[in-house]
């Protein structure tokens, strides 16, 4: 028993020695934890703005390609050897410019031969008419029979017909001689020559004529695109005689964007909608016309066209950076009178510059967070600051953090 007592006594002395410091350490830690719990960070500062009201028009965008208003294949009308080429490949030509010449000598000889034949026919006609005039007097005097007189009248008619035929042959020969010079039928840009001088060119009206070059007009130019049957029905039903919709009966203004451009900066007008819907694709063909004074638009080039899809209406717009994503839903954070940020789920419309059209979900008097959205959690108290003195603003400040689909703190739907 004494041995056990001797063993416990040193342990008690050690415990008493360290009990006071341990108690003090525990008290200090508890005080620090209490101070840490009572410290509340200030609410994050955010910038708010009211939606802006603006009259806008909804648009649909389509991809299409340019087509020449006029396209002509230059082919010879007469056969012969190509004598000269009078243009540079790819140059702009005017209507009436000389493009090709075919060897004229055989056709010049044909003109001379036709002129000689005509002169002979005219001589025969003059003799036949004089002989007929003499026969009229002789038949009255019963010097010649009626049969002989009728033979002379027939000879005069035949001579007159021969003159008419010779005149037509001469006109044809002169026309063939004129066709040895091939001139541009339209204004436009010509392609490369398909035949070099010295080659035999086959002409005529058949299907085996020789293609010499191709000319396409450049100004104005057509832009052709297709849209689906549902869009076609929507346009036609919304039109009702209005010129604001891309219907069949309106020349509505459309805008164009090339593949290397950011804006729809080219304006044209609709001039045609097809009369049938393609059964294989369920689409209908539309066409617009654009001015092309610089020749930048080239047939076959792709571009995007923006077509009005509604009549003008007044809508609310907010900066696109103020819109957040929660899976498939879009929202904005609205600051109420209690300075608490709450989400409002919205239906988005088209993008107008850096502004997004809001079709539903907000009102004109809402204070929407346009700066500092990434620092705010739904239901959190914030320190709002009006941007632009509380007036509606067109965009957020440069450098504002944009809300994306990877927002680490998406809003929770309120009960």
Task: Give the residue numbers spanning the domain of 281.
Answer: 223-295
pLDDT for 396: 41
Instruction: With CA atoms as reference, report the closest residue to 102 among 178, 185, 170.
Output: 178
What's the average model confidence in pLDDT over 101-110? 95
pLDDT for 245: 57
Has residue 89 been placed in a domain? no
- How far apart (Å, rounded) are the C-alpha atoms in residues 58 and 389? 30
Q: Verify that 265 and 171 share a domain, yes or no.
A: no
Q: Verify that 275 and 315 share a domain, yes or no.
A: no
- How far apart (Å, rounded) are the C-alpha atoms in residues 13 and 6? 12
Q: How many domains does the chain have?
A: 3
Position 404 confidence tier, pLDDT thresholds 50, 70, 90: very low
Asked if residue 1 has pLDDT above 50, the reply is no
Instruction: With CA atoms as reference, report the closest residue to 92 among 291, 295, 289, 290.
Output: 295
Sign, CA dihedral 26-28-33-38, equals: positive
Has residue 204 been placed in a domain? no
Q: What number of H helices and E strands is found in the chain?
A: 4, 23
* 231-290 pLDDT, tens digit each: 888 888 776 655 555 556 567 889 999 999 888 889 999 888 898 999 999 999 999 999
The burial class, CB within 10 Å (0-12 / 13-18 / 19+), for 210 is middle
pLDDT for 13: 57
Has residue 4 been placed in a domain? no
Asked if residue 52 has pLDDT above 60, the reply is yes
**Interhelix angle 105-140/146-179, nearest 10 degrees:** 160
Asked if residue 413 has pLDDT above 70, the reply is no
Task: Write b or e for each residue in 223-245: b if 16 or more Cβ atoms lie within 10 A of its Cβ, otherwise e.
Answer: bebbbeeebbebbeebbeeeebb
Here the CATH number for the domain that contains residue 165 is 1.10.287.470
Asked if residue 317 has pLDDT above 50, the reply is yes
In percent, how much of the chain has pLDDT > 70?
81
- How far apart (Å, rounded) are the C-alpha atoms in residues 180 and 177? 5
- How far apart (Å, rounded) are the C-alpha atoms in residues 235 and 306? 14
Tokens 């410290």 correspond to 39
Has residue 363 been placed in a domain? yes
Asked if residue 84 has pLDDT above 90, the reply is yes
Has residue 148 been placed in a domain? yes
The SS3 call for residue 308 is strand
Here the CATH number for the domain that contains residue 362 is 2.40.420.20
* 376-391 pLDDT, tens digit each: 888 888 888 887 655 4
Residue 184: CB atoms within 10 A of its CB come to 20
Average pLDDT, the chain: 82
Has residue 72 been placed in a domain? no
Q: Verify that 321 and 404 share a domain, yes or no.
A: yes
* 128-165 pLDDT, tens digit each: 888 888 888 887 877 778 888 888 889 889 999 999 99
Q: Verify that 314 and 286 share a domain, yes or no.
A: no
For residue 357, give every residue at least 6 positions away whose Cβ sits within 8 Å of its Cβ, in sequence order, or none.
56, 315, 316, 317, 348, 349, 350, 351
Helix (H) or strand (E) holding 318: strand 313-319
Helix (H) or strand (E) holding 277: strand 266-277
pTM of structure: 0.66
What's the average model confidence in pLDDT over 112-131? 92
Here the CATH number for the domain that contains residue 257 is 2.40.30.170
């Amino acid at each position: 028993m004494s041995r056990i007592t001797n063993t416990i006594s040193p342990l008690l002395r050690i415990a008493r020695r360290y009990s006071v410091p341990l108690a003090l350490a525990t008290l200090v830690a508890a005080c620090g934890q209490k101070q840490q719990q009572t410290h509340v960070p200030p609410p994050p500062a955010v910038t708010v703005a009211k939606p802006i009201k603006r009259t806008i028009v909804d648009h649909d965008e389509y991809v299409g390609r340019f087509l020449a208003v006029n396209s002509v294949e230059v082919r010879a009308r007469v056969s012969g050897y190509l004598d000269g080429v009078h243009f540079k490949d790819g140059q702009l030509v005017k209507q009436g410019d000389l493009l090709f010449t075919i060897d004229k000598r055989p056709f010049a000889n044909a003109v001379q031969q036709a002129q000689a034949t005509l002169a002979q026919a005219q001589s025969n006609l003059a003799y036949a008419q004089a002989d007929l005039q003499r026969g009229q007097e002789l038949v009255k005097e019963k010097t010649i029979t009626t049969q002989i007189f009728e033979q002379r009248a027939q000879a005069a008619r035949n001579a007159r017909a021969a003159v008419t035929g010779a005149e037509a042959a001469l006109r044809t020969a002169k026309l063939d001689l004129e066709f040895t010079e091939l001139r541009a039928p339209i204004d436009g840009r010509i392609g490369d020559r398909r035949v070099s001088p010295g080659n035999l060119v086959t002409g005529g009206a058949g299907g085996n004529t020789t293609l010499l070059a191709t000319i396409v007009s450049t100004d104005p130019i057509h832009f052709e695109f297709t849209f689906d049957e549902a869009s076609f029905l929507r346009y036609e039903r919304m039109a009702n005689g209005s010129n604001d919709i891309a219907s069949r009966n309106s020349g509505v203004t459309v805008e164009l964007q090339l593949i290397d451009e950011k804006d729809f900066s080219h304006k044209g007008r609709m001039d045609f909608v097809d009369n049938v819907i393609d059964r294989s694709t369920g689409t209908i063909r539309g066409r617009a016309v654009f001015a092309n004074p610089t020749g930048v638009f080239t047939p076959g080039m792709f571009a995007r066209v923006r077509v009005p899809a509604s009549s003008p209406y007044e809508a609310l717009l907010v900066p696109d950076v103020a819109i957040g994503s929660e899976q498939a839903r879009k929202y904005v954070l609205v600051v109420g009178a209690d300075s608490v940020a709450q989400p409002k789920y919205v239906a988005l419309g088209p993008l107008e510059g850096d502004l997004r059209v809001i079709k539903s979900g907000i009102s004109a008097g809402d204070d929407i967070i346009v700066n500092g959205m990434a620092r705010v959690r739904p239901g959190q108290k914030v320190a709002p600051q009006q941007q632009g003195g509380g007036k509606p603003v067109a965009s957020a400040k440069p450098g504002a953090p944009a809300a994306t689909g990877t927002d680490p703190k998406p809003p929770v739907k309120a009960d």
